[in-house]
Structure 1
Amino acid sequence: MPKRAILVVDLQNEYWPTGNFSLVGIEAATANAARVMAHGRAKGDLVVSIRHEIPGGSMFIPGTEGAEINTAVLPQDDEPVITKNYPNSFRKTGLKKLLDQHDVDEVVITGAMSHMCVDATTRAANDLGYRTVTVHDACATRDLEFGGITTPAAQVHAALMAALAFMYGKVISTEEFLTH
């Protein structure tokens, strides 16, 4: 059986309706991420929380409430927390070193935003040789606008998950994950 890590990407207060950048379905996605974390802990998986900070930015400002991990998915005991400044959770962080120290060969990805940090982290993990599993209903995003066209969050999310499932690993539901 592969040595597995649960990556909880950017489930921070900034994404809640009280934050500066709320996401569609963040509460449901976070509830599912908490279930994934609990299942992983029970199975002995490494659970890694990832926090995005943007020094000098307009959101995810270090030291603010918005940059804090939401209480629904707080790390337990000595679980590692990786702080990043880029969408890719591996870029200029110790994430790969941490996973390699624990002999991880499979990563399970939850978090926000589906079309940004979840996407970048999943693709990077795959490129680095990890088997990837993205738990689609434990991720959230928002409506996007380009060229005067607004794409609803559900369509953004579906398109992204379809792309990840095509070449970057498995994409499954929380219920499917809980059977493993």
Structure 2
Amino acid sequence: MTDTALILVDIQKDYFDGGRWTLSKMDQAADNAATILDHARKTGDMIVHIRHEIPSDAAPFFRPGSEGAEIHPKVAPIDGEEVILKHKPNSFLNTRLHDTLASHGISNLVLVGAMSQMCIDATARAAADLGYKVTVVHDACAARDAEFDEVAVPAAIVHAAFMSGLSGTYATVTDCASHLEAK
């Protein structure tokens, strides 16, 4: 039995070109996530897909029942893989994620998905606080341009800032090739 789970966070259609909340390099991140997913399936790691819905008809993206809220086909779940619905950035908050992982004896988490500055950050920090050993595969995650105090921040800088904040304290942050070599 494995003690590792791959957590695919919010790899949903609205984040891709043509979606309601497009992220920079989402296709490349999803391709790397798909590679890691394929490897996890072959090695028998537990797989959990997190799907975010914002329960409001006025939501800018991930509206309940919308095509944009669907998991992208690149990483579509197959029979036997958990799919957990969430309504907040932290994948553990008011969901069954922690109980599901605990019931399977999971102690190590590998996180991929989106957005780096929101749901990946919130989920990684919560996981570490709950005692999980966390790995974030940074090139299987994507970010969006941001703005603060009239300063425009490109997605690449947003992504780097959040990965650097997670690295060491909350998670081991690695790239796809290095993660697969270490497995």
TM-score bucket of the superposed structures, by smaller chain: over 0.9
TM-score (norm 1): 0.98
Conserved 8 A contact 1:110-1:135? yes
TM-score (norm 2): 0.96
- The residue number in structure 2 matching 1:84 is 86
Give the AA of the match of 1:166: G
SS in structure 2 at match of 1:93: coil
* CA RMSD between the two structures: 1.1
- The residue number in structure 1 matching 2:143 is 141
Give the AA of the match of 1:8: L
2:148 aligned with 1:150, yes or no? Answer: no
Conserved 8 A contact 1:2-1:106? no
- Determine the C-alpha separation between the residues in 2 that align with 1:84 and 1:5: 18
- Determine the C-alpha separation between the residues in 2 that align with 1:58 and 1:22: 11
- Determine the C-alpha separation between the residues in 1 that align with 2:5 and 2:37: 10
Q: How many residues align?
A: 180
Structure 1 segment 43-122 matched on structure 2, within 5 A: 43-56=43-56, 57-122=59-124
Conserved 8 A contact 1:2-1:105? no
How far the C-alpha of 1:55 sits from its partner, in A, is 1.1
- The residue number in structure 2 matching 1:163 is 165
- Detail structure 1 runs of 4+ shifted over 3 Å in the superposition: none
How far the C-alpha of 1:2 sits from its partner, in A, is 6.5
- The residue number in structure 2 matching 1:7 is 7
- Determine the C-alpha separation between the residues in 1 that align with 2:80 and 2:65: 20
How far the C-alpha of 1:27 sits from its partner, in A, is 0.1
Conserved 8 A contact 2:5-2:106? yes
Gaps of 5+ in 2: none
How far the C-alpha of 1:58 sits from its partner, in A, is 3.0
